[in-house]
Structure 1
């Protein structure tokens, strides 16, 4: 009986992992586009409403991941570049398991102010958005074109552990290709960072 229970637990865990591992496919539409999420400035935000004339950039992030902290200057550059290129941007915190601590709404608000975020920073309280995207790590980005189709996903650059050493700016190149009417190459890269802390 004990072996059966252990097997059932293992199967459940493997199924859960499999669901989380199903990353959004290139060409897919914006998941949960009309669902409303609350940003740190108490505004209701949907991904579809955040999309602008040239597309939408969704970044999964948090307050405390060392990779996020190391990449903050790159994040600020990305926010500025997205605005310059008329691409809407939303930063998502899906660390539901830490919502009462380091990733509480209050902590998110303080963090956003400290970093000078000028785009919505929203809480994904049950990690439903992360599940819909198949997002696994922070930071991890998903770029959608003007029609709402996914054209790039993965890392911002090739050396997130040491951004100063990066030689390939995957996300910026993807944005430039997309706006030039070309498919980003690569369209998918491996996201490197902290795992999203789901419940």
Structure 2
């Protein structure tokens, strides 16, 4: 009886430790309304890009994405369309790849450069090789979006979650979460749906 109790206690402690680990790795980041810290990451063109570089913008659509993930691939054209629609209205896309190339070879910096060139991205595609920016945001999946609104020199989170409600079929989308959020912000209106649960590939965190 004592052995069974001991094993049960050990199991509870083990599960609790897993929960704390999951929270530390990509969870518990920014919430809606939080001010985002500046970041500086390498772009596929070799330049360094910071959030503070977007001084003339009204905000930004920050997308954590990757090369290997089927969900990210399914959303790629929709991400490009979001930038084409909203960059000129002050809300450009900033794509960030936090995926570990040691786990997924398609996410090496060279592969990122190839993908950006092949698809003619009109926005920066940044490598978060230390995964610090993804952790700061609390990103857990690719793709996952954070719509930021600029207020003075600061950027605050106004929406976080999915791009829309149909990862598999763009023609079957009924809720354009990011589009609606940015459209409201551009029109001076509050965002109605501020949080959705992202659907995509889990970010594999590097061992530290």
TM-score by length of 2: 0.85
Task: Choose from 164, 167, 176 the match for 1:169.
Answer: 176
Measured in 2, the distance between the counterparts of 1:139 and 1:75 equals 10
Count matched residues.
Answer: 197
Q: How does 1:45-60 map to 2 (within 5 A)?
A: 45-50=49-54, 52-60=56-64
The residue number in structure 2 matching 1:74 is 78
Task: Choose from 18, 32, 35 the match for 1:29.
Answer: 35
Cα offset, 1:135, TM superposition: 0.5
Could you list the per-position Cα deviations for residues 118-151 of structure 1 after superposition, in whole angstroms to 9, with x for gaps in the alignment? 1110110121111000001111110111211111
Measured in 2, the distance between the counterparts of 1:179 and 1:65 equals 31
Change (3 A) 1:54 1:165: same
Could you list the per-position Cα deviations for residues 6-36 of structure 1 after superposition, in whole angstroms to 9, with x for gaps in the alignment? 88765543222112221421111113xx332
Change (3 A) 1:11 1:175: same
Task: Choose from 16, 19, 23 the match for 2:21.
Answer: 16
Cα offset, 1:97, TM superposition: 5.0
- Please tell me whether the aligned partners of residues 80 and 122 of structure 2 are also in contact (alpha carbons under 8 angstroms): no
The residue number in structure 2 matching 1:139 is 143
Q: How does 1:1-199 map to 2 (within 5 A)?
A: 11-19=16-24, 20-31=26-37, 34-50=38-54, 52-96=56-100, 98=102, 101-147=105-151, 148-199=155-206
Q: Which runs of 4+ in 1 moved over 4 A?
A: 2-12
Measured in 1, the distance between the counterparts of 2:161 and 2:20 equals 23
TM-score by length of 1: 0.89
Change (3 A) 1:100 1:76: closer
Task: Say which structure is richer in strand.
Answer: 2
Could you list the per-position Cα deviations for residues 141-169 of structure 1 after superposition, in whole angstroms to 9, with x for gaps in the alignment? 10111211111111111111222210111
RMSD value over aligned CA atoms?
2.3
Measured in 2, the distance between the counterparts of 1:173 and 1:116 equals 25
Measured in 2, the distance between the counterparts of 1:150 and 1:94 equals 19
Structure 1, unmatched stretches of 5+, are none
